[in-house]
């Protein structure tokens, strides 16, 4: 990657710049690194437009989970500006009715002041079984939730619920693409990552071992190595 090419990182649902902290030092040497703010709008199209309005003219783009949905929308809106694409523990599929219903329940709980409790209940499914007692990752999850706030969380969930099926547009992606997932991701099964990698010409699929839905803090060295190789290729 050219030394002047910026890298734009997009966090996931109820996630902030903190999620990328374990890997940024290894990526910074390739060029400027910035993290998108994705909590101000309630649709994928609007989030992508705002991120693009604040982004450099051309950049490498990496999105984690919900950030992957945003990255795909950014790539659809402005493909000429995205030099490289990394899709991390995400999918191109829209919400199922069951997933939407779960989100609406969580949104109601958030309105009642129960977001932290709901996130605590979800934590064991977010990470690899070996990380379920990891107090550092649990604290990170809650700190990020505080960063996003209830109103930001509600806007994010609304955007996720209404997102479109991105599978028909995957074949239009022409830039070097990395698809990364964990071998034990219970939130977004890695079968969906395989599906994306097979649909994007030349995409590289990386499945991290002993990793759930949060590869940056769960497997920071392996995650940084895969991203560095993607930037250097």
Q: What is the pLDDT of residues 43-69, one digit of tens each?
A: 999 999 999 999 999 999 999 999 999
Q: What is the pLDDT of residue 85?
A: 98
Contacts of 178 (CB under 8 A, 6+ apart): 62, 84, 85, 86, 87, 203, 204, 206, 226, 227, 230
Q: Are 166 and 72 a contacting pair, CB within 8 Å?
A: yes
Distance between CA atoms of residues 122 and 144, nearest Å: 14
Distance between CA atoms of residues 149 and 161, nearest Å: 18
- Residue range 182-187: mean pLDDT, rounded: 98
Q: How far is C-alpha 3 from the chain's CA centre?
A: 24
Q: What is the pLDDT of residue 3?
A: 57
Q: Give the Å distances, CA to CA, from 69 to 15, 29, 61, 198, 211.
A: 14, 26, 12, 17, 21
**Residue 4: pLDDT band by 50, 70, 90 thresholds?**
confident
DSSP 8-state secondary structure symbol assigned to residue 113: T
Contacts of 10 (CB under 8 A, 6+ apart): 35, 36, 38, 51, 61, 62, 63, 64, 67, 68, 70, 71
Q: What is the pLDDT of residue 233?
A: 87
The dihedral sign for the CA sequence 65, 67, 70, 72: negative
Judged against a pLDDT cut of 80, whether residue 92 lies above it is answered with yes
β-sheet with 33-35: strand ranges across: 33-35, 7-10, 59-64, 82-88, 177-182, 204-208
Judged against a pLDDT cut of 60, whether residue 1 lies above it is answered with no
């Amino acid at each position: 990657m050219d030394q002047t090419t910026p890298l734009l990182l997009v966090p996931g649902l109820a996630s902030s710049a903190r999620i990328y902290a374990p890997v940024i030092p290894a990526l910074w040497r390739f060029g400027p690194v910035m993290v998108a703010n994705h909590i101000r709008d309630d649709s994928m199209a609007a989030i992508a437009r705002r991120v693009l309005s604040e982004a450099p003219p051309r950049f490498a783009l990496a999105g984690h989970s919900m950030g992957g949905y945003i990255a795909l929308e950014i790539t659809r809106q402005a493909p000429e500006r995205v030099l490289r694409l990394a899709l991390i523990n995400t999918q191109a599929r829209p919400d199922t009715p069951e997933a939407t219903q779960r989100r609406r329940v969580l949104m109601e709980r958030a309105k009642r002041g129960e977001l932290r409790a709901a996130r605590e209940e979800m934590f064991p499914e977010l990470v690899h079984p070996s990380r379920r007692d990891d107090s550092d990752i649990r604290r990170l999850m809650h700190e990020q939730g505080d960063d996003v706030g209830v109103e930001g969380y509600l806007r994010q969930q609304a955007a996720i619920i209404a997102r479109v099926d991105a599978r028909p547009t995957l074949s239009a992606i022409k830039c070097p693409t990395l698809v990364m997932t964990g071998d034990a991701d219970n939130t977004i099964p890695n079968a969906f990552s395989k599906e994306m990698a097979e649909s994007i010409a030349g995409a590289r699929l990386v499945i991290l071992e002993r990793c759930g839905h949060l590869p940056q803090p769960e497997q920071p060295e392996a995650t940084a190595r895969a991203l560095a190789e993607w930037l250097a290729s």
